[in-house]
Amino acid sequence: MTVPVTVLVVAKAPVPGLAKTRLAHTLGAEGAADLAAAALLDTLDAVAATPTVARMVALTGDLASARGAAAIRERLAEFTVVPQRGNDFGERLANAHHDAACLGYPVLQIGMDTPQVTAKLLTACALRLLRADSVLGPASDGGWWLLGLHNGVGADSLRTVPMSQADTGARTQRALAHAGLTVDLVTELSDVDVIDDIAVVRARCPQGSRFRNLAAAIGV
């Protein structure tokens, strides 16, 4: 069965010095970018294996300067790729959602910081979206890792929500409710922002995960 949903990955090219800068304090700029590349590739693998009608990546950054550029470029050949647009993160998320919605289906948006995500989980979330106004996947740090919407009404509410804060998830839920949408909460995941997150996420990655193998190899 093909689910009539577009999965949208909002991603940043894993360029040393620009990707995962909080991890770079411990791992170095290249080490942090290598982990970011592994997380992105694991995410793209999971999305590619999810039986939805369309897959899109909204990308920012110089892929030519990124770690793992060749593997990422090869994987992106299976996706529609658009540039991110906007002056801040909330604006870029909203615009990316609008771009994905142009394909004509509900949009399930995720980032690249949850390499433990699986096609099975994404499929379940996509099916939930077909029965709900919106779906929201809380992150353990108070943010969110997944947002599913049917149109741009809810996406525009992201423009006023402060991102990367301890209450971003709660603020997003309130903004969606203010827009008149019911919110269906799905599975909570941990994302990778700081060094202590790596072991938690690594333990939940499937066998063969690039992120899991790289984190083990560098001892984090």
Q: How does pLDDT run along the chain (220 residues), one tens digit per residue?
A: 899 999 999 999 999 999 999 999 999 999 999 999 999 999 999 999 999 999 999 999 999 999 999 999 999 999 999 999 999 988 999 999 999 999 999 999 999 999 999 999 999 999 999 999 999 999 999 999 999 999 877 888 888 888 887 889 999 999 999 999 999 999 999 999 999 999 999 999 999 999 999 999 998 8
Per-residue tokens: 51 = 């039986």
Integer Rg of the chain from CA: 16
* Structural domains of the chain, ranges and CATH numbers in brackets: 3-215 (3.90.550.10)
Q: Whole-model pTM?
A: 0.96
DSSP letter, residue 65: G
Q: CB count, 10 Å around CB of 92?
A: 21
Token output for 137: 């996947």
| Cβ contacts of 152 within 8 Å, gap of 6 or more | 94, 97, 98, 101
